[in-house]
Amino acid sequence: MKPLRIGILSTAHVHADGFAEILRTTANLEVVGFSQNNSEAAKKFVETSGLKHFATHRALIDQGLDAVIICSETALHLPLVTLAARAGAHILCEKPIATTLEDAIKMREVCEQASVQFMTAYPMRFDPNLMTLKQKLEQPKLGKVLGIVGINHAENPMYRQAWFANKQLAGGGAIMDHTVHLTDLYRWLLNLEVSSVQAEISNPFYPELDIDSAGFITMTLGTNETRVITSSDSSWSRPVGVYPRWGHLKLEIYLENAAFEIDGFANRVNLYSKNTTRATNWLGYGADATRAMLNTFLEAVSKQKPVPITWQDGFAGLQVALASYQSSKTGQVIYLES
């Protein structure tokens, strides 16, 4: 089978390095290169990834790609999705997929017009513990899910990429960055849509920045007899360079006849070294959810199968994040259209 030709459009996102490493070690794949118009950033990425640099996104697209991974600033996703779709390249797009619902809808339209697939980068669906949890929740003997408590805490990513603290480019702070992940997990685990959102959002950790760094969101999924109440505690609360890893993603799920606790990054060993920026490092081991996500995307493109995480999943997460900001500002419950 002819190898798929793939490229990375922009390296602005903190996950671009990880994608490059996975691509370089994936069989039956031709990694054409990456595009980055910032020469200094491009030089660093070449040094760490070994990939070929293209000075413009158009130059990379013109190489004739089967697929792209979009890792730009969030506000710049739309023009890159448009460029890739019109060239016939299937798309794996970082989350959140846009900063406005209008941009997100335009992305769907251009992909439909070009008959290309759009997959949202939600790797935690491929975590083995969460996949097992989903199977268990489908067992009738455990009863109805009564509620879910979730946390997603991390360092402030602006210390790796400054644009994360720029509202114009990122669309928001910790709530925009993290809420989409928990929203997607809730929708996926419960097979329900978010029907209402109530949020309290503030900036206790970086008062010098015009950005949110913490928030607590109550989401209702489903309606009437299917209704499940969930919470989302999202923040950039971990001290940069001091905490042993970037953060956490944890869930507590309560059912009529059972309860589960999941720590998505619990498999770790402790590293103590004079050669690192942290006093202690937590080194993760075990399954790589991001690699599994990327392999699933590549398989779907190669075999012309539907991607499992679609534009709609990305749109739903963005819708909840934006509704959370609206709720916190107005003090009201925000009801979402089904």
Task: Mention every residue, 6+ apart, whose C-beta is less than 8 A from residue 131.
Answer: 125
Task: Mention every residue, 6+ apart, whose C-beta is less than 8 A from residue 259.
Answer: 252, 253
Look up the pTM and report it: 0.95
Q: How many percent of the chain have pLDDT more than 90?
A: 87
Q: What average pLDDT score do residues 264-290 get?
A: 76
Q: What average pLDDT score do residues 198-219 get?
A: 97
Nearest to 220 by CA among 197, 254, 251, 252: 197
> Taking 90 as the threshold, does the pLDDT of residue 106 lie above it?
yes
**Structure confidence at residue 2 as a pLDDT band (50, 70, 90):** confident
- Listed range (104-118, 210-224, 279-293, 300-314) with the worst mean pLDDT: 279-293
Q: What is the pLDDT of residue 335?
A: 97
CA distance linking residue 164 with residue 103, whole number of Å: 18
Domain locations in the chain as residue ranges: 4-116, 124-289+318-335
- Listed range (117-121, 277-281, 333-337) with the worst mean pLDDT: 277-281
> Taking 80 as the threshold, does the pLDDT of residue 274 lie above it?
no
Peptide bond preceding 79 in cis form (omega within 30 of 0): no
Q: Top-level CATH class of 4-116?
A: alpha beta
> Taking 80 as the threshold, does the pLDDT of residue 266 lie above it?
no
Q: What is the pLDDT of residue 277?
A: 67
**What is the torsional sign of CA 164, 167, 171, 177?**
positive
Which residue pairs, CB below 8 angstroms and at least 24 apart, start in 239-243?
239/155, 240/155, 240/156, 240/159, 241/159, 241/277, 241/278, 242/278, 242/279, 243/155, 243/278
Query: How many beta carbons lie within 10 A of that of residue 3, not counting itself?
Result: 13
Q: What is the pLDDT of residue 282?
A: 72
Q: What average pLDDT score do residues 276-280 get?
A: 69
> Taking 90 as the threshold, does the pLDDT of residue 271 lie above it?
no
CA 219 centroid distance within chain: 19
CA distance linking residue 181 with residue 247, whole number of Å: 14
> Taking 70 as the threshold, does the pLDDT of residue 140 lie above it?
yes
Is CATH 3.30.360.10 what the domain over 124-289+318-335 is classified as, yes or no? yes
Q: Tens digit of pLDDT for each residue in 7-24?
A: 999 999 999 999 999 999
